[in-house]
Amino acid sequence: MNTTVIYLFYAFLAILILSFAAERILDWLNIRNWPKVLPDLIRDIFPEEKFMEVRQYQLVNYKIGFIEATITSIITIGFLYFGGFAWLDGVARSFSSNLIVQSLIFFGIIAVATFIIRLPFDIYDTFVIESRFGFNTTTPRIYITDQLKSALLTILIGVPLFSLIVFLYQKTGEYFWVLVWLVISIFALFMSLFYSSLIVPLFNKQTPIPEGELRTAIEEFAHKAGFKVKDIYVIDSSKRSSKANAYFTGLGPEKRIVLYDTLIKDFSIDEILAVLAHEIGHYKHHHTTIGLITSIVQTGLILFVFSLFVKPGSELTEVLCNAAAGARQVTPSFYMGLIGFTLLFSPISAIIGLIFNSISRRHEFQADAYVAEHQMQGYLQSALKKLSVNHLSNPFPHPLYVKVYYSHPPLIERLKALENTSRREPQGNGF
C-alpha cells in the first residue's frame, strides 16, 4: 500500500479524534462557566429558583450530548479504522454498476444508519428532557408524522438533486463543479424564496395576523419603517414546543416575517414590535441577501477545491479514496472521494464556521441597533430577557464556546449594547 495512503488514513483518524476532544473540551469549559453571583442586568428575570432551573437544564443537555457525541464518534472512528467505507463500497457495487445508483445506495445506507443511531437520543430529548422542563407539546403522532415527512422530503428532493450532481460529474469532466455550483445556487435561491410557502406548511400552519390591536400596531410600524411585505404571519409552533421565537425569510416580493404563536401569547405588543423591528433590521441591512450570496460564493470555492481532489484517473483521487477506505485498495469513485474530501476538509470547514458565526453575530448587533434607532431598545431588552427565560438559555456561555458555535451574541452582550444606546438616546414608546 502506498505510504501516502497510510499517512492520509492516520491523518483522517487524527482529525476525528482531535475534533471530538476539542468539542468535548469546549462543552466542558462552557458548562463550568457559571458565575456565583447574578449580574444586575438579568437579576430581575432570574430569581434563585429559575436560576437553578436554567443550570439544571444546561447540565442535563450537556450530559446527554456528551453520551451521544461519544457513541457517534466511536462508531465513526471504528467504521473508518476497520474499513467500513470499503465494505460499504462493496455493498453498493454489488447492487449495480451504475455510479448514480451506487452513490445513492452508499449514502442512503449511511443516512439510515445515522438516523437509527440518533433517533433514541432525539426521542429522549423530546419526550424526556423537554417534557421535564415544560417545553414539549409534541404528541407521539406528530413526532412520527414529522419523521416520515422529513424522510419523504429527503427522498423527493435530495435524491433527484444528488443524482443530478453525480450525473454532471460523470458527463462534464473536470469542470463539472461549475455546473454543480449553478444547480446548487439555483436550488438555494429557490428555497430562499419559497421555503416558507412550500415546505413549512407541510409541518406547520401559517396564518396572517388577524384584525385587532396587534395587527394595527404592526402595520403602523411597518409603514413607518418603510417595510413593504405582503403579510405578517403567525405559525402554530405551540403544537410542538412552548418556546417562543420569530424569523425573517424570503427575498423580494416573497419576503415575510413569521411570529410564533407562543411569542404573541406571552409577550406584550411593544415587545413584539421590538422583535419585529429587529427582524426588519435584518432586511434593512440586507443580511438575508448577503448571507445567500456569501453562501453561494463559499459553495463555489468548496466545489472548486473538491474538483481538484476528485478527478477520474487522478493519482490524488486514488490516494484519497484508498485512505477513506481504511487504507484498503478500492476502485476510486465519486462517493468515496466525497467521503475522503469531507474528512480532509473538516478542519478548514471549522475555520470557515468561525468566520461566518462572527459575521452573523455582527449582523445581530446591527439589527438590534436598528431597534434602537426607533427608540425601542427598552422593549427589546425586555423581550430578550423573556426569550432567554422562555428557552432556559445559558446566559453565561464561555467566550471561546461563543466564537465557535454561536451565530447570535450572548444575552449579556446584547443587553449591554442596548444599554449603551439607552444612555445615548431617550427612551420612547416606539412611535
pLDDT of res. 19? 95
* DSSP string over 324-393: HTTS------HHHHHHHHHHHHHHHHHHHHHHHHHHHHHHHHHHHHHHHHTT-HHHHHHHHHHHHHHHT-
Given 271, 279, 318, 364, the catalytic residue: 279
CA distance to 261, 264, 267, 412, per residue, from 210 (Å): 12, 12, 17, 34
Q: Is 279 a catalytic residue?
A: yes
Q: Which residues lie closer than 8 Å to 387 by C-beta, 6 or more apart?
A: 244, 245, 393
Q: What is the pLDDT of residues 58-85, one digit of tens each?
A: 999 999 999 999 999 999 999 999 999 9
Q: What is the pLDDT of residues 115-140, one digit of tens each?
A: 999 999 999 999 999 999 989 999 99
The burial of 186, by beta-carbon neighbours within 10 Å (0-12 exposed, 13-18 middle, 19 or more buried), is given as exposed
pLDDT of res. 49? 78
Tell whether the model's pLDDT for residue 52 goes beyond 90.
no
The edge-to-edge listing of strands for the beta sheet with 256-260 is 206-208, 232-235, 256-260, 246-249
Q: Is 368 a catalytic residue?
A: yes
Q: What is the mean pLDDT of residues 27-42?
A: 82
Given 27, 130, 318, 368, the catalytic residue: 368
CA distance 192 to 203: 17
Q: What is the pLDDT of residues 353-382, one digit of tens each?
A: 899 999 999 999 999 999 999 889 999 999
Are 346 and 339 within 8 A, CB to CB? no
Residue 30's CB is within 10 A of a number of other CB atoms, namely 21
Are 209 and 234 within 8 A, CB to CB? yes
